[in-house]
């Protein structure tokens, strides 16, 4: 039976209490929905702002039952929420994205197989699920990057290898778990596309986003007309839509790509949720990625988002709370509030902090979006903000 359209006043739930859950909760509440969050942390960013906070683990029977009782539909904010938890909830109420689609995104081997099956190019790879597979690896895949098949994100669970000996050592370093070895390719740029697909198969997308990563973590996203060659941008959008269509996906999906030095485009990975590279949509588009997450979950019509301003998003890591000057920091290395007043004096700056109670190096604490009339003005202001915060120029 087709799930009913859930109008404002219904309760929408989310598995995971991080910043993505928090921004989903804010979007849902702005549209008139009640919200519920399941997260074991009593101080989770999303739990602290939601109508209901079920303080339990993702596989806790009582917690899942409590979430199901108070919700009319449930989504997820984290790709490593067990797919089995989504499947259990789906037996009682609408869940989007579906467990089957999330399971593909949770396993790099399944993910690569999906790309191959639908004809979307990805880097040459091999699945290493044991000693025999390790011995059979084609030398043409070296140098490469060895990645755990599961539970890897933000550069975690990845080791660069150049020789068979280094590959064997890296696999042991990763404790011999199933892995995927990807051939390293000469990159010119990285980009991503966020799509939203509804229950009826209708699909909309945001513009192609140019991304800069540092130490495996997204640092800067820039979005405006011409940020990538039009042919590359069109290919990325078509590929992202094909990935979502092939999964019969319902929800918001981010597809990340590499642009090679010869101009070719290859898909890197997918995230079955809103994405860090789409945070600019809150301030630069008439519909944000989080509103589209609400719409796909509730069964509401999808409208094509319109970007009304060029934008640049800076990721704000916990490192910014610690003085990089060792002479000043050596005494206590205690966190100090960044100079938000000076940053907010700049035109077109939008600050989003995630409500995390303690800053830590490498922890995502917030983001800064700069909007303006032209890409050049946005970049100039973003560089000023970066300099004030101690973020390296880009």
Asked if residue 113 has pLDDT above 90, the reply is: yes
Nearest partner of 278 among 193, 352, 215, 354, judged by Cα: 193
What are the helix (H) ranges across 307-351? 326-329, 340-343
Q: What residues pair up with 145 in beta bridges, in sequence order?
A: 160, 182
pLDDT at position 331, please? 43
Mind listing the pLDDT tens digit for each residue in 278-317?
Answer: 999 999 999 999 999 999 999 999 999 999 999 999 999 9
How far apart CA 8 and CA 17 sit, in angstroms, is 22
Asked if residue 377 has pLDDT above 60, the reply is: yes
Asked if residue 389 has pLDDT above 70, the reply is: yes
Angular region, 290: left φ>0, alpha ψ -120 to 50, beta rest: alpha
Q: The domain 11-95 is classified under which CATH number: 3.40.50.20, 3.40.605.10, 3.50.50.60, 3.90.380.10?
A: 3.40.50.20
pLDDT at position 333, please? 74
pLDDT at position 324, please? 61
- Average the pLDDT over each of 17-26, 43-52, 79-88, 204-213 and give the range with the smallest value: 79-88
How far apart CA 249 and CA 126 sit, in angstroms, is 26
Mind listing the pLDDT tens digit for each residue in 233-244?
Answer: 999 999 999 999
Mind listing the pLDDT tens digit for each residue in 203-229?
Answer: 999 999 999 999 989 999 999 999 999
pLDDT at position 321, please? 95
pLDDT at position 153, please? 63
pLDDT at position 80, please? 86
The fold of 187-389 is D-amino Acid Aminotransferase; Chain A, domain 1 (3.30.470)
pLDDT at position 156, please? 73
Could you state, in order of their start, the residue ranges of all structural domains in the chain? 11-95, 124-183, 187-389
| Residue 79 pLDDT class (50, 70, 90 cuts) | confident
Mind listing the pLDDT tens digit for each residue in 310-366?
Answer: 999 999 999 999 976 543 444 457 889 999 999 999 999 999 999 999 999 999 999
- Average the pLDDT over each of 47-51, 78-82, 185-189, 386-390 and give the range with the smallest value: 78-82
CB atoms within 10 A of CB 226: 9
- Mean pLDDT along residues 98-119: 96
- Mean pLDDT along residues 84-96: 97
pLDDT at position 330, please? 43
Kindly state which CATH superfamily the domain 124-183 is placed in: ATP-grasp fold, A domain (3.30.1490.20)
Question: For the whole prediction, is pTM greater than 0.85?
Answer: yes
Q: Mean pLDDT over all residues of the chain?
A: 95
| Residue 261 pLDDT class (50, 70, 90 cuts) | very high
Nearest partner of 285 among 354, 353, 197, 209, judged by Cα: 209
């Amino acid at each position: 039976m087709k799930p009913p359209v859930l109008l404002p006043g219904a309760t929408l739930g989310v598995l995971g209490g991080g910043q993505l859950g928090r921004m989903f909760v804010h979007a849902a509440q702005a549209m008139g929905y009640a919200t519920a969050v399941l997260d074991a942390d009593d101080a989770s960013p999303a739990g602290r702002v939601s109508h209901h906070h079920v303080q339990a683990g993702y596989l806790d029977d009582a917690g899942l039952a409590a979430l199901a009782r108070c919700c009319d539909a449930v989504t997820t904010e984290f790709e490593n929420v067990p797919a089995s938890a989504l499947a259990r909830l789906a037996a009682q109420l609408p869940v989007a994205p579906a467990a089957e689609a999330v399971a593909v995104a949770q396993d790099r081997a399944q993910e690569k197989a999906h790309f191959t099956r639908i004809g979307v190019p990805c880097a040459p790879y091999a699945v290493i699920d044991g000693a025999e597979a390790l011995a059979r690896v084609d030398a043409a895949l070296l140098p490469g990057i060895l990645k755990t098949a599961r539970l890897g994100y933000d550069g975690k669970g990845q080791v660069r290898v150049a020789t068979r000996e280094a590959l064997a050592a890296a696999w042991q370093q990763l404790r011999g778990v199933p892995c995927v070895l990807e051939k390293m390719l000469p990159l010119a740029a990285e980009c991503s596309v966020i799509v939203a697909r509804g229950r009826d198969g209708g699909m909309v997308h945001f513009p192609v986003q140019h991304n800069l990563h540092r130490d495996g973590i997204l640092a800067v996203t820039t979005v405006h007309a011409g940020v990538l060659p039009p042919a590359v941008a069109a290919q990325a959008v078509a590929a992202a839509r094909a990935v979502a269509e092939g999964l019969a996906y319902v929800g918001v999906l981010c597809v990340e790509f590499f642009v090679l030095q010869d101009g070719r485009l290859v898909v890197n990975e997918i995230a079955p949720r809103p994405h860090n590279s789409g945070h600019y949509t809150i301030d630069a588009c008439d519909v944000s990625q989080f509103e589209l997450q609400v719409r796909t979950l509730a069964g509401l019509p999808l409208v094509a988002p319109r970007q009304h301003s060029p934008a640049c998003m800076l990721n704000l890591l916990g490192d910014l709370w610690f003085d990089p000057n060792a002479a000043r920091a050596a005494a206590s290395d205690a966190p100090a509030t960044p100079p938000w007043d000076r940053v907010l004096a700049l035109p077109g700056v939008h600050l989003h902090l995630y409500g995390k109670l303690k800053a830590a190096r490498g922890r995502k604490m917030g983001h800064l979006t700069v909007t303006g009339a032209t890409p050049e003005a946005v970049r100039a202001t973003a560089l000023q903000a970066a300099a004030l915060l101690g973020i390296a120029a880009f």
